[in-house]
Chains A and B, each alone.
Chain A
Amino acid sequence: MLKIKNLHAKIGDKEILKGINLTIKAGEVHAIMGPNGSGKTTLSSVIAGREDYKVTEGSISLYGDDLLDLAPEDRAHKGVFMSFQYPVAIPGVTVTNFIKTAINAKRKVEGKDDMPAAELLKMIREKAKLIGIDRSFLSRSLNDGFSGGEKKRNEIFQMAMLEPKMAILDETDSGLDIDALKTVANGVNKLRSKDNAVIVITHYQRLLDYIVPDFVHVLSDGKIVKTGGKELALELEAKGYEWVK
């Protein structure tokens, strides 16, 4: 599904990614772990198409289509989704209105009319139930005054609504207490299928107790330095990042 080959990227003059290779198949969950500054967030931002980062070498493709030529919204239409570490607030725009706009933007590109209101409402109710969010939440301004847990649940709710092929969860566990973490992880697990894939970017292994990965990659200084199964996360937790350096 997703193929990353020899990816180099920099921000300003600073090279952050120094040759990443990664192949992800449908149905898989990959965890990317690493210390601060190892390039985890850069990797997710580059896949999603954030313009602050300049790709100097290498390629990223989704089902054979080169993603690097595409604007972020076009990547989204092809099925790339990123759960943000710090979701931004858009005051005055409700969660419902935002998701409606996003869904209809994609449908427009696909040559479809706007989703009928009844269908949209039904879908919203189903997904809200699945993720365990209260309906009153849907009429609040997007991320405006949300708690850390609410923000992350809202990200997963959007993921549920947009049904992406390739979801990247960027430090979705940061700032969550254990209950919120479980809720979010359960949501993600319910959305897993043989047709989609998930990249879980995290600092700690505790999230991986709930979202169990097929592969764990350790990122250090812009390179994947170790790859293993889910047990690698535990080993890493026990030995610390110094162990892989």
Chain B
Amino acid sequence: MPTKYTENELGRDLENKEYEYGFYTDIESEKFPVGLNEGVVRAISKKKNEPEWMTEWRLEAFRIWEKMEEPDWANVDYEKPDFQAISYYSAFKKKPELESLDEVDPELLKTFEKLGISLDEQKRLSGVAMDIVIDSVSVATTFKDTLNEKGIIFCPISEAIEKHPELVKKYIGSIVPRTDNFYAALNSAVFSDGSFCYIPKGVKCPMELSTYFRINEAGTGQFERTLLIADEGSYVSYLEGCTAPQRDENQLHAAVVELIVLDDAEIKYSTVQNWYPGNSEGKGGVYNFVTKRAIAHTNSKISWTQVETGSAVTWKYPSCILKGDNSIGEFYSIAVTNNHQQADTGTKMIHLGNNTKSTIISKGVSAGKSQNSYRGLVRVGKNAKNARNFSQCDSLLMGNECGAHTFPYIETKNSTAQIEHEATTSKIGEDQLFYCNQRGIDTEKAIALIVNGFSKEVLNKLPMEFAVEAQKLLEISLEGSVG
């Protein structure tokens, strides 16, 4: 007789599914001794040859951080990192300054090949310009010339601090102030690299801008800082994606992303996140505490799309401040948790302008012993007339040991607001699996099919090449060897 394949067995298979992209790049790197104090902050700033104002900005952030406490309101449970046991800077010893891919360390290229995102292919097939962040220092920047012609600035943030201080000074910390939260303050003090992007007035960026982040050095915290500015009437689609090598130590990741969308501009920001989620016992894995926020001025539009499959603990709420009249905010999210993963993710839509509109589509898939929470806030200010929001939160459960939670918060101070919230919870049933099996589709493929169908509304929002990769990640995250 064929083995009976119940949901419980399915759950067990999923628990035993090891991290597909668990490998380690053998590139020598240089890193600071562990611990954090003013001296370390100064040293990071010095390492990056930063001007005095930047050093001072970091020091102020450090002083704010010192007085703050780690938040514990999220629906996650983990051992708090020892912030004095982390090394706050890691850079490759052979810091290359590259014109072409030929100059990239072959080890690094091999890593990308394993990930199926070889630069060559990416460049040839999709025309994607990439600012690759491996650990903390960017090692390759491509398609610079095309972007230069349009006046688009796309570079590591350290380079922006040096070459475009007026823009950085004006906007950094303007949306996520140093006082915002514990991790944002920490990031402001110690961020080592990240991306900067400026799209000039009226320019439509001709290609998808893409960054691949990786955490690559055991015990190194990763503090990325991203700043995107879309000037009046401009448009950009920005992709952020990442995977990380397998390891036992918990890794802290506390990124800050700030988007500034000026009048009539649009930013589409897409993320595929696949950091090491820990092994089947819940050991190891990345802690991902991210602050992402955007401000939308008059007639502008922000669209966040995220596919979250990795990390041991995720704490992430890409948000929109709809400041200008007629501005639009969108949030499309798929969060998949398996084994002992915990995700507390969602968005905040802050309606301040008149006729502002927001849409939230959140899809959570939970398997194994994982906990998956949606936490969202829709706030309508007292001067925001005719604000509209539509929220939809769907959860899909696999097995009996995982959890799905929804925490929607709604605050309206204006009676003209229209707010709708819909939520569903469903389970992948034996009936669905048997139906697929009877048609010749095995259980693994059936799960992939069902999950992809469930996530379709969000997957459809991703740029084409990214959607294919995201679909692959969903399958990898959930497939188990069939019993």
Contact = CB atoms under 8 A, between A and B. Distances in A.
B32 interface: no
A105 interface: yes
B9 to A, nearest CB: 11
B454 A158 contact: no
A69 interface: yes
A51 interface: yes
A98 B439 CA distance: 9
Contact of A101 (B6, B438, B449): B449
Most interface-central of A50, A82, A92, A102 (chain B CB within 10 A): A92
Most interface-central of B429, B442, B457 (chain A CB within 10 A): B442
Contacts of A141: 453
A48 B456 CA distance: 30
Interface in A158-203: 158, 162
Interface string A65-105: 00011111110110011101001101111000110011001
B438 A72 contact: yes
B468 to A, nearest CB: 15
A10 interface: no
Contact of B1 (A69, A74, A77): A69
Contacts of A51: 2, 4-6, 434
Given A51-B4, A70-B2, A88-B429, A101 B441 contact: yes
A158 B455 contact: no
A105 B442 contact: yes
Contacts of B432: 88, 90
Contact of A69 (B2, B4, B442, B457): B2
Most interface-central of B438, B441, B454 (chain A CB within 10 A): B438
B457 A76 contact: no
A87 B434 CA distance: 10
A205 to B, nearest CB: 27
Contact of A162 (B4, B431, B439, B456): B439
B115 interface: no
B204 interface: no
A48 B437 CA distance: 9
A114 B396 CA distance: 29
Given A88-B429, A88-B432, A76 B453 contact: no
A139 to B, nearest CB: 12
Most interface-central of A73, A81, A88, A97 (chain B CB within 10 A): A73
Given A77-B440, A92-B455, A92-B456, A87 B5 contact: no
Contacts of B445: 101, 105
A contact residues, range: 35 or more
B437 A73 contact: yes
A81 B435 CA distance: 11
A71 B4 CA distance: 9
Contact of B438 (A48, A68, A93, A97): A48
Nearest to B451: A92
Contact of A76 (B6, B440, B450): B440
Contacts of A50: 434
Given A69-B1, A88-B429, A88-B431, A158 B439 contact: yes
Nearest to B1: A68
Contacts of B55: none
Nearest to A94: B453
Contacts of B437: 49, 71-73, 76
Nearest to B2: A71
B412 interface: no
A90 B439 CA distance: 13
Given A92-B457, A93-B450, A102 B431 contact: no
Given A51-B2, A55-B1, A70-B2, A162 B440 contact: yes
Contacts of A102: 436, 439-441
B440 A105 contact: yes
24 contacts: A49-B437, A51-B6, A72-B2, A73-B438, A73-B440, A73-B441, A73-B442, A74-B2, A76-B437, A81-B438, A82-B438, A84-B438, A87-B435, A88-B429, A90-B432, A90-B435, A91-B454, A93-B450, A101-B449, A102-B436, A102-B440, A105-B439, A105-B441, A109-B440
Given A51-B434, A90-B435, 4 more contacts: A49-B2, A72-B2, A91-B454, A102-B440
**CB-based closest 6 A-B pairs:** A92-B453, A93-B453, A76-B440, A72-B437, A92-B456, A71-B2
